Chain A
Amino acid sequence: MMDEKQGADLPPDMVQWLNALPPDERQDMKRTWMLSGTAASSTTSSPQTEEQLTDLLAQIDTGTTPQPEKPEPEKPQPKDRSPEQRQRFRWGTLVNGRRAGIAIGAALAVILSVSWLLTPVTTVAPRGEQVSTTLPDGSVVELSSGSSLSHRRGFLSGGRRVHLDGEAFFTVQPGDRPFRVETFNAEVEVVGTRFNVRAFGSAHRPSTEVAVEEGTVQFRGADGKSGEAVKIGAGRASRLPRGATRPSPASSVDVRRQTAWRFGGIAFVNEPLADIVADIERRYDVDIRLEASGYQDRRLTLYRSQVGSARGIVEDLCGYFAFECTLSEQRFILRSPSGASNPSD
């Protein structure tokens, strides 16, 4: 008569008491709990929920500088016009000005639609912020601070292909067509999986790094320079430094740790200080001046599952390297200890 499973789980807090009951009574209680579920008023999302959400989002200060509404002349173009309708506007049938006007309008419409379709869609996560976005195929991308992602509108041409500048975590919808991530020097190809790509082309030691949480990806240098692809399975990672032709062999990593940025943490594994500093600047939108020559390439492994503010990490760095640090709210200056410039002292 009724689905026994429906929300029948008793709260874990209650288990101890239940277990102390005689078996019969325990059964009664479980059954009562299950049946009481019938009295639930609707606690599922409804169209009203969406209306309320729209209202709500209009009320809140989104924290980003509002982009001036740029009129998109392409937008109102009738993309859905059927081929039969379009054929009516043949140039040969133009006889009067009104028709010519319509035809020119239509031609413009086609040109604008095409150019609109060809303009890449770009999503930017500004410094100090993270953004997640859903691609036309339903794949979800979480962009780390100071990163951008672009792709062709609707994935209409060129298949499922995105270009990443920075770092992002991808949850790719399985599909027949392969999904490709391009970076300044590499290409990652997948079918349906979860993985992280880090590719800051302007970094001190630029490289593309891929870490896979679920499934398998193919990782190779960007076209032309490409050697053989490296296959990366779950729990493994590989790196392709700028100028190299072949990614490093996939090695085992703690992916959760590597993607600490997704959950408000930081993780650096043997990274040069210059890149760590750049990362903190992006993540927390602060300015850090590293006035300690010779320290740019000092490597450091640092992991924090939770970071309250940039200041905390910068203080750690100051302590670790014995820098003389000037710290204010948004700006930090790190100087070599007592004016010394040689890190090997």
Chain B
Amino acid sequence: MTRLLDMTPSADRMEEWMLKIRASDEQAFASLFRSLQPALLSYTQTFVSEGADDIVQDAFVWLWENRSTLDPEPSIRAYLFTAVRNRALNRMRNDSRRRELIDHVPAPQRPARPDTAASLTELKGAMRQWIDALPARRREAFELSRFSQLTYQEIASVMGISQRTVETHIRRALQHLRDQLCHHQPDLLP
């Protein structure tokens, strides 16, 4: 899991890469790709089942082609997450396999584990189910914050909503997960 922390370079680092990318530095571009591609890929995969790789690559090609006109504000992460999101949504539309991205999508009800012996894999499975069962946009905001380490400002810019809404989504998601834990695996809470 410490690896996960490695994958979230500091804002300074990002800024440095970005400035170098503007100066056509391919190594900085490669470093940026290495650090963000996995997170972008799993984010993209929440929208499309196939072709997520290509979408992420396209976004980076686009970034490179527009490097000279890049503006450091908002963050480069927000740029890339927005880019893959737009591409993924377009793809879904074209595939007419569009998934409704509104808040009251019926959440699939899954029986969570009632037993208390929570091995890590069991917890992981249960947690995954609870997160998947969140309303789509709430889940998206929560995952961007929790797994891709985006700031609220970046999430707001990626999802096209206000920071306040981002905050509400994440707070509610966390409360919901807490309730699930409390109900199914109370011994895990202090």
Residues of A near any B CB (own CB < 8 A): 1-3, 6-7, 11-14, 17, 27-29, 31-33, 35-46, 48-50, 52-53, 55-57, 59-64, 129-133, 145, 262-264
Say yes or no for B103: interface residue by CB 8 A criterion: no
Q: How far is the CA of A11 from the CA of B7 in the complex (A)?
A: 16
20 intermolecular pairs with C-beta atoms under 8 Å apart: A11-B151, A13-B163, A17-B171, A27-B190, A28-B178, A29-B174, A32-B174, A32-B181, A39-B128, A43-B7, A43-B38, A43-B42, A45-B35, A45-B38, A52-B56, A52-B57, A53-B30, A60-B65, A62-B24, A264-B22
Q: Given A28-B190, A52-B56, are A11 and B25 neighbors across the interface (CB < 8 Å)?
A: no
Say yes or no for B27: interface residue by CB 8 A criterion: yes
Known contacts A60-B64, A61-B64, A130-B25; 12 additional CB pairs below 8 A are A7-B1, A11-B145, A13-B152, A29-B174, A32-B181, A35-B127, A36-B174, A45-B35, A49-B33, A52-B53, A129-B25, A263-B16
Say yes or no for B102: interface residue by CB 8 A criterion: no
Q: Given A37-B1, A42-B38, A130-B25, are A13 and B177 neighbors across the interface (CB < 8 Å)?
A: no
8 Å CB contact of A35 from B42, B123, B148: B123
Residue of A nearest to B149 (CB): A11
Residues of B near any A CB (own CB < 8 A): 1-7, 15-16, 19-20, 22-30, 33-35, 37-39, 42, 45, 53, 56-57, 60-61, 64-65, 120, 123-124, 127-128, 131, 145-149, 151-152, 163, 167, 170-171, 174-175, 177-178, 181-182, 188-190
Tell me the dominant secondary structure on chain B's binding face.
Answer: helix
Number of A-B contacts (CB under 8 A): 148
Residue of B nearest to A54 (CB): B30
Q: How far is the CA of A59 from the CA of B61 in the complex (A)?
A: 7
Q: Is the CB of A40 within 8 A of B147?
A: yes
Interfacial chain B residues near A33, Cβ < 8 Å = 146, 174
Interfacial chain A residues near B163, Cβ < 8 Å = 13
Q: Is the CB of A32 within 8 A of B7?
A: no
Interfacial chain A residues near B3, Cβ < 8 Å = 44
Q: How far is the CA of A87 from the CA of B181 in the complex (A)?
A: 71
Q: Given A53-B30, A59-B61, are A13 and B24 neighbors across the interface (CB < 8 Å)?
A: no
Q: How far is the CA of A19 from the CA of B96 in the complex (A)?
A: 45
Q: Is the CB of A31 within 8 A of B190?
A: yes
Q: Is the CB of B34 within 8 A of A45?
A: yes
Q: How far is the CA of A27 from the CA of B189 in the complex (A)?
A: 8
Q: Is the CB of A2 within 8 A of B120?
A: yes
Q: How far is the CB of A264 from chain B (nearest CB, A)?
A: 4
Q: How far is the CA of A331 from the CA of B39 in the complex (A)?
A: 44
Q: How far is the CB of A290 from chain B (nearest CB, A)?
A: 25
Q: Is the CB of B182 within 8 A of A28?
A: yes
Q: Given A39-B131, A46-B38, A53-B34, are A62 and B61 neighbors across the interface (CB < 8 Å)?
A: no
Residue of A nearest to B31 (CB): A132
Residue of A nearest to B60 (CB): A56
Q: Is the CB of A129 within 8 A of B24?
A: yes
Q: How far is the CB of B56 from chain A (nearest CB, A)?
A: 7
Q: How far is the CB of B50 from chain A (nearest CB, A)?
A: 15
8 Å CB contact of A3 from B1, B30, B33: B1
Residue of A nearest to B118 (CB): A1
Q: How far is the CA of A7 from the CA of B45 in the complex (A)?
A: 22
